[in-house]
Every structure is written in C-alpha cells, then in structure tokens.
Amino acid sequence: MLEHLAATASDPRPIALDELLPRWQSAMRTWRAWMCTQTKHTLEQVRRRTYHHELGGSSNAMSLRSAAALGYYDTEDAVVLAAKTAMFTHREETAHAGAEFFARVTFRVLHQDLTPLQAIEAVAADSGAFVRAKVAQALAKVEEAVDPGSNLSREPFVDDAALTAMASVLDLDGEAGSHEPIKVGLSSATEGTLPGAVYFIVRYGTLEAAAKANAKVGGDNASRGVAIGMVLGAAEGLEGIPASLGGHLVEWERVASLLDQLPLIRAAGSGTARAAAAYGGVDEEMCAVEPMRQRPRDAEQPGGDDKEDL
C-alpha cells in the first residue's frame, strides 16, 4: 500500500482497485514469504476477472493495511475509505469494523492531540456494538491485569491469560471450547486481535514495551502488532522505535524514502528519510528508493492457512 500511495502522490486521489490490483499482482509473483488463503483466493478471483465489488473471502482476520494512508489523506473519512478499500481480500463485517476502528483511532491521535486511550474511548463510543463490546472487554482486562488483588495479576503468563480470556479458544476438534488460559497466544480473528491490541496499547503505553509484550504472547502477534505500531507510533513518532533497532529493521531506509513522498509528510517538510537516517545511524544516501530486493517465494509453509480460516 505504501508503494501504491507513493506512486500516486503527485496527484492524490482515492485508492482505485483498477490502479492498485496490477501493482499487487506483480508484487505477489515474487512474494518472499508465506501467503494466506485470502490472498490466494483473491488472486484467483482477479485472474478470473471477478467484479471488484465481489473480491475477497469470508475470513474474519483484521488485515489492517492503512498505516501509509495517514500520510496521504488529511480527513478521517478518507483514511477510513482507504483502509476499507485496501482490505479487498477480506469481506467479513467484523474484520472491516476492526480496520476502521484503528484507522480512526490513529487519525485522532495524530490530528486531535488525544492520547491513545482517549482516542480509543472516543472512537468506541461512536462505533457499533461489536467494537464497543471488544474495547470495553479490553479496558476491563487491563484494569484486572494491573490490580494486585486480582487472580489474573498473579498469573505467571498474565498477558497470555488476559488475551486468551477475551476470545473463544478452539479445542482440538476445531470447535469453540474451554476458556482456560493457554500459553500459545491467539489467532487472527478480529474478536481477538482488536481487544488484544487495545490491551497492549493501554496497558504498556509505549511502542517498545507494548511490542515486546505482544511478541511474547505469540499467536498472531503480527496482526496485533500492526495496530499497536500504528497507534503508539502516531503517539511517539520515530523516537518510539528503540535506538538499538534503528537502521537494522528490514527495509528501514527504503520505507523511509517512500514515506517522504506522501503528500502530508512532504508538505510538512519533516524529512522522514533524513530523520530515520540520523536516528538509526545509517547513511542518508542509502535511502534512495530502489525496487524491493526479492527472491522467489518459498514452498508454502504447512499449516499456515488455518489462522485465516477462523
């Protein structure tokens, strides 16, 4: 999405799938990592020339892809529209509700001088019943986790127990089962990733602390991590990224240069690439945009599709 928005930044406009899909198809041909069932399904739909409004599958994974839109669009509704359009591989209602929720929260942190908690509460108040319930669940679980008198606070794996308690757990037969805490994290389903991300954002308050705690829980910590990174990144900026990681993150320089092409960042003259280079201790000249270094995608990883089918 960042590549697409950077490529269209000279003439800002809503994301159009007839422009985005060819770029997406080209990227998928040399994709370097695991590919989910919804991506495979949608690629086949596009190959069959399925109507754009019929694209996507029924997965309830949140599939949040709108971070770059916050540097491109200057209204909340435009960012939300971009977030929903970018989810063309997913049609399920709660997945879209989760993506809209975090797009609105992040926008308000950036533009309304709200703390992450204030933005979360404000957006939840205007949201549907599903989002309101999941946010309330997460905030209650934070209070319980930090209460020294609660049983949860005395759990050896408190965050894992907290997240597990907020979503249905699948038993070995693949049906909704026990809510007993387990030490394997949670899946991609929005019913777990939304409150899970809110929990880490509110409980830990900084990107470094929240990201570390999220990683330790396991499960689909990547999906939760996108939301955590958007919201706390908006609150802290580049300074929120641990200095020990600066310049060592994959695609650090390239992403910084692409960000500098986005309209709002360019207009602010903030020089993301320059700041990233200085902060990360890397050569600013390395930040020139080049094609992503790709290799043919490895053979499919066994068992990976299950998390997208919940």
Q: How far apart are CA 274 and CA 290, in angstroms?
A: 16
Structure tokens at 6: 């950077």
- Give the residue among 191, 161, 193 at the shortest CA–CA distance from 178: 161
Structure tokens at 180: 């007993």
Per-domain boundaries in the chain? 2-309
pLDDT mean over 54-83: 95
Q: What is the CATH number assigned to the segment(s) 2-309?
A: 1.10.4080.10
Average pLDDT of the chain is: 85
Three-state secondary structure call for residue 220: coil
- Residue listed under structure tokens 């939300």: 80
Per-residue pLDDT of 256-271, as tens digits, reads 999 999 999 999 886 6
Q: Is pLDDT at 188 greater than 50 in this prediction?
A: yes
Q: Is pLDDT at 173 greater than 60 in this prediction?
A: no
pLDDT given at position 233: 95
pLDDT interval class at 279 (50, 70, 90): low
Could you count the other beta carbons within 10 Å of the beta carbon of residue 7? Answer: 13
